[in-house]
Amino acid sequence: MKFLDQVKIYIKAGDGGSGSPSFRREKFIEFGGPDGGDGGKGGSIILKSERNLNTLIDYRYQQHFKAKRGGDGKGKKQTGKGGENLFLKVPLGTQVFEEDNKTLIYDFKKQNEEFVVANGGRGGFGNTRFKSSTNRAPRKFTKGTKGEDFWIWLQLKTIADIGIIGMPNAGKSSLLASITSATPKIANYKFTTLNPNLGVALYDDKEITLADIPGLIEGAHIGVGLGMKFLKHIERCKTLLHLIDVSEDNLVKNYRQIRNELKKYSNELVKKDELIVFNKVDLIDNDILNKKVKEFEKKVKRKVLSISTLDKKLISVIKSKLLKYVS
């Protein structure tokens, strides 16, 4: 599925139906009084969050949405049928902005949330409403009001318990695939992942949502390597899993480079809980691994967990570790 995390759409709620100017027309009743009913309310446009969606791609091909108009009132004081509401599904984590793309209208943080983004117009009054002691046969009626209409922006910021970050080709997609049922594209070259991938892991009857954030490089905070596009998805992750390819050189330098990019983008990112994981331990022997772990922990003053995505036992260990961060 193609990924799209920002889109501009036009929405138009339904207009209210017109009231009726009807009069009673019955046998043996020469002067029937007014019996015009009110118009029906126009349909509203309602956004609803869906957890199983992770892209706004559907809105690339259709940007205009219009709800149904309310029905007109009828004789015998019958109110017009209300216009059908139009429901638009959006991914969990979607933010709704006004046309300026700066003023936040709503933020979807929970599954199955509903938000009326455009209200349908009110139905007009039938002539029955205008009957009085001085006007027994009013011909007056009103039209329904217009439904709200405007352009809005939808922006997606991924929401996950764990955000998997690291340099390109660190094995983030492989880790996501081994922990969850997600099937991200995996290959041995930089920037295989061009968009966040989501997966759900079950452990001890508890659910953990993980997001594979595309690789970050130096200058990401100013847009290098599409960094700005990726970094915003980290904002909504509760905990960061910093994955490092242990077979590479300069592990401390690479780690600090990523941390520096996070800090330059937002100081809040470096305040998040972080689990540091050395990956691809199957590519080096144990003596070299132990030396690298010891040296890294001494310089960074943080504990490291070592794994291989090919080792199911180590994957089970990391699942149990992750559970502590979301409990």
- Tokens in use for 236? 């909504």
Domain boundaries in the chain?
1-156, 160-326
Residue of 3, 91, 88 whose CA lies nearest to 49: 91
- Tokens in use for 145? 């009001």
Q: Residue 26: exposed, middle, or buried by beta-carbon count in 10 A (0-12, 13-18, 19+)?
A: exposed
| Global model pTM greater than 0.95 | no
Q: In what order do the strands lie in the sheet with 273-279?
A: 197-203, 206-212, 160-165, 237-245, 273-279, 304-306
The domain 1-156: what is its CATH number? 2.70.210.12
Neighbours of 152 (CB within 10 A): 20
* pLDDT given at position 206: 78
The reply to whether domains 1-156 and 160-326 share a CATH topology is: no
pLDDT in tens, the chain (327 residues): 466 788 999 999 999 999 999 998 877 666 678 999 999 999 999 999 998 888 898 998 899 999 999 999 999 999 999 999 999 999 989 999 999 999 999 999 998 999 999 999 999 999 999 999 899 889 999 999 999 999 999 998 877 888 888 888 888 888 888 887 655 443 333 433 445 677 777 777 777 888 887 756 555 444 444 445 667 778 888 899 999 999 998 999 999 998 998 888 889 999 999 999 999 999 999 999 999 999 999 999 999 999 888 888 888 888 888 887 776
Residues in the chain, overall count: 327
* pLDDT given at position 190: 40
281-305: b (≥16 Cβ within 10 Å) or e: beeeeeeebeebbeebeeeeeeebe
**Top-level class of domain 160-326:** alpha beta
* pLDDT given at position 219: 54
Q: In what order do the strands lie in the sheet with 104-107?
A: 64-66, 6-12, 149-156, 94-97, 104-107
Residue type for position 110:
K
